[in-house]
């Protein structure tokens, strides 16, 4: 699925550059601008290595033109509805709910996401063109986000970038490996003359500490290596 970021009448070229950068950061490329200001050096500087996204952006004169070939049009707003009686901004989706909603949509589809201008956000007529409304949960103390921040958060949620070897995907040590480590530690406590009546409690504490740490296989081997080295030193005497 193609994700198209559409900025409706953005005022500051810096924001356009920052949005281009966020688009590239999260592995996307399409940027449409409805009646943008001139894009000059400031925007280019903020876009940094995403100058290609900025250069390839489409400038159009109306929201209708920008969304013409879209499969789904989502409008973002910082003010969400509070009653199911108000249909303009209700029901709204959080960025994560949007991701779930569009999960099954075909590969050749285009999801267009509209972001309003810095001062007014999307106007009523623009929200009327949207299939659904997205609202980032923010504090009532200051609900309105910076334009490029809002884009970054929505694209972060929609991104299909593989997190790589994040902690959740790192192969943890097997139970057998960990048991061998704990046996080794227990033997080591004997070897250093650790007080017998304290041993069980201390072993349990070590188990809890290392359990919380979610050790990898490699880490278990390194810890056992330290124990072996200490045992060798003990056997040799100081």
Which residue ranges make up the site for its own copies (CB under 8 A)? 18, 21-22, 24-27, 46, 48-50, 80-82, 84-85, 90-94, 97, 101, 135-139, 141-146, 148-149, 152-153, 156, 159, 161-168, 170-171, 216-218
Alpha carbon of 87 to those of 20, 31, 80, 116, 181: distances in Å?
31, 28, 10, 18, 61
Question: Closer CB to its own copies, residue 70 or residue 89?
Answer: 89
CB of 133 to its own copies, least distance (A): 9
> Which residues make Cβ contacts (< 8 Å) with residue 132, sequence separation at least 6?
72, 73, 74, 75, 92, 93, 98, 101
CB of 201 to its own copies, least distance (A): 22
**Angle (deg, nearest 10), helices 175-191 and 217-236:** 20
Question: Closer CB to its own copies, residue 66 or residue 75?
Answer: 75
Question: Closer CB to its own copies, residue 50 or residue 122?
Answer: 50
SS3 32: strand
CB of 171 to its own copies, least distance (A): 8
CB of 77 to its own copies, least distance (A): 12
Question: Closer CB to its own copies, residue 35 or residue 216?
Answer: 216
> What gap in Å lies between CA 93 and CA 76, rounded to an integer?
9
């Amino acid at each position: 699925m193609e994700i198209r970021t559409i900025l409706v009448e953005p005022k500051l070229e810096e924001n356009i550059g920052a949005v281009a950068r966020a688009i590239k950061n999260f592995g996307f490329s399409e940027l449409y601008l409805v009646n943008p200001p001139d894009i000059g050096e400031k925007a280019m500087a903020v876009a940094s290595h995403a100058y290609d996204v900025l250069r390839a952006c489409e400038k159009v004169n109306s929201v209708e033109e920008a969304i013409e070939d879209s499969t789904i049009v989502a409008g973002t707003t910082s003010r969400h509805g509070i009653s199911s009686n108000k249909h303009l901004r209700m029901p709204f989706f959080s960025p994560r709910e949007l991701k779930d909603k569009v999960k099954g949509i075909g590969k050749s589809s285009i999801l267009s996401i509209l972001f309003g201008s810095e001062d007014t956000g999307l106007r009523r007529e623009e929200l009327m063109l949207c299939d659904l409304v997205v609202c980032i949960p923010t504090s009532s103390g200051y609900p309105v986000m910076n334009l490029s921040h809002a884009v970054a958060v929505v694209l972060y949620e929609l991104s299909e970038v593989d997190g790589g070897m994040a902690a959740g995907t790192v192969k943890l040590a097997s139970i057998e490996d960990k048991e061998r480590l704990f046996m080794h530690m227990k033997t080591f406590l004997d070897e250093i003359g650790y007080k017998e009546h304290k041993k069980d409690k201390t072993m349990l504490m070590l188990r809890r500490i290392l359990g919380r740490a979610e050790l990898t296989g490699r880490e278990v081997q390194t810890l056992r290596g330290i124990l072996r080295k200490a045992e060798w030193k003990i056997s040799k005497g100081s």
